[in-house]
Amino acid sequence: MKFEVLTIFPEIIECYIKHGVLGKALNKGIVEVKVYNLRDFTSDKHKKVDDYPYGGGAGMVMQIEPFYNAIMHLKADEKPRKLVLLSPQGRKFTQKLAQKFMEESKAMVLICGRYEGIDERVKAFVDEEVSIGDYVLSGGELAALVIIDSVVRLIPGALGDELSAVEDSFMKGFLDYPHYTRPEDFKGMKVPEVLLSGDHKKIALWRKRQALKNTLKNRPDLLKNLSPEDMRILKELC
């Protein structure tokens, strides 16, 4: 899988991708990330990327020309790629959309805006507009990293062949169950007995109960399509 990121702050992307699971996936060649500085696609000596908004208002708007030049440069190799603009106005990014991106796209271009926004005409050249949440960031780079991280984790072999329980639970529509590790007793805070029992059936049921309890408490919106078995467990909790 290849990610190409358009940004005026390449260092933000380059620094993050060196660490952790992304670093390993890069070294294994499972994923490739190329970062392009939009300033390299400007035509003036000051490498200007923004200007005052038509119609007035606070702040600056990113000009279309650097985005257009960068996108045309990428498209020159005529390889298929999904162009995604990160913005607060986009479609909500979820684990399911991460799965879809992983399954459908061999290559993704992640377009990072800053300032008050980017010239609306850039959207004529993108396939999707995606938001990672209902808040405004100072730039699309963090959102691009969220997408790269969550999509790469889903690539077979990226996590050393064991998708973590977290992905599983989110795909099934729950929050995760609680996790514990040594010591068994930390200042009187003990690990739940069931997890020390070795009874895997009992542990699995306890974990399912806890996941449903957490989901009911913090994200009841996720509990829309429960299996009859899970509905029964949930009813016991209420």
User: Which stretches within the chain are classed as H helix?
Assistant: 10-17, 20-28, 64-75, 95-104, 141-152, 165-172, 200-218, 228-237
HSE-CB of 36 using CA atoms within 13 angstroms: 21
What are the CA-CA distances from residue 166 to residues 123, 133, 173, 198 (Å)?
Answer: 33, 19, 11, 22
Among the listed residues 88, 129, 149, 209, the single catalytic one is 88
Interface residues for ligand JF5 in 52-111 (CB under 6 A)? 86-88
Please indicate whether residue 168 is annotated as part of the active site.
yes
Residue from 17, 117, 145, 158 binding ligand JF5 (CB under 6 A): 117
> Among residues 137, 148, 154, 211, which is the contact residue for ligand JF5, using CB under 6 A?
137
Told to check if 136 binds ligand JF5 by CB under 6 A, we report: yes
What's phi and psi for 146, nearest 5 deg?
-60, -45
Residue identified by tokens 């029964």 is 232
CA separation for the pair 184, 181 (Å, rounded): 7
Stretch that binds ligand JF5, among 64-72, 112-120, 195-203, 224-232 (CB under 6 A): 112-120
Shortest distance, position 163 Cβ to ligand JF5, whole Å: 25
Is 230 designated active site? no
The yes-or-no answer on residue 88 being catalytic is yes
Indicate which residue of 114, 153, 207, 230 is catalytic: 153
Residues that bind ligand JF5 (CB under 6 A): 86-88, 113-114, 117-118, 131-133, 136-137, 139-140, 143
